[in-house]
Amino acid sequence: MADIISLKNDIEAVYDMHADMLYRLALSYLQNNEDAQDAVQDVFIKYATASDIYRDEEHKKAWLIRVTVNRCNDMLRRRKLRTHIPLEEAYDVAAKHEESDSDIMKCLEKIPLKNRAAVILHYLEGYSVEETAAVLKISVSAVKMRLKRGREALQELIREVE
């Protein structure tokens, strides 16, 4: 019984610490609040069922981010197979899309996904280039190129908005 309580407290602590960041990451990938919430829920279910494989807090955080990215990619692949929306929901989807927080976020949604992931992790979440490379499992030079391309795309889109 003590093990269950300990596990519950651990999951709650990890959730409180990382859920917002994982949600923002999932939302940037999936562009849908409900799907992002589902992805984060799936990540924490996987966390709860995973064995204690973490070396330290940074390793745990990187694992959570990697699992979130993988889950989002899985959801995007499945979404391609099912691209229809019932007519009744089409108006709701359009209205939600128009309620975006800012022009920057709207522009960020339009840049390619691989560049967007690097930009979000580096500029919004504060990861270094090396940490971003480790999380995305790409080279440091690839991260730098994705950041460059992401910045250029954002600058062009922001100019169009203005």
Its pTM surpasses 0.85: no
127: phi then psi, degrees, rounded to nearest 5: -75, 145
CATH of domain 1-99: 1.10.1740
pLDDT per residue as tens digits for the range 59-69: 889 999 999 99
Domain ranges of the chain: 1-99, 100-162
CATH of domain 100-162: 1.10.10.10
Sign of the alpha-carbon dihedral angle for 66, 126, 31, 26:
positive
**According to the model, what pLDDT value does residue 154 have?**
86
**According to the model, what pLDDT value does residue 87 have?**
46
DSSP 111: S
Sign of the alpha-carbon dihedral angle for 127, 46, 26, 9:
negative
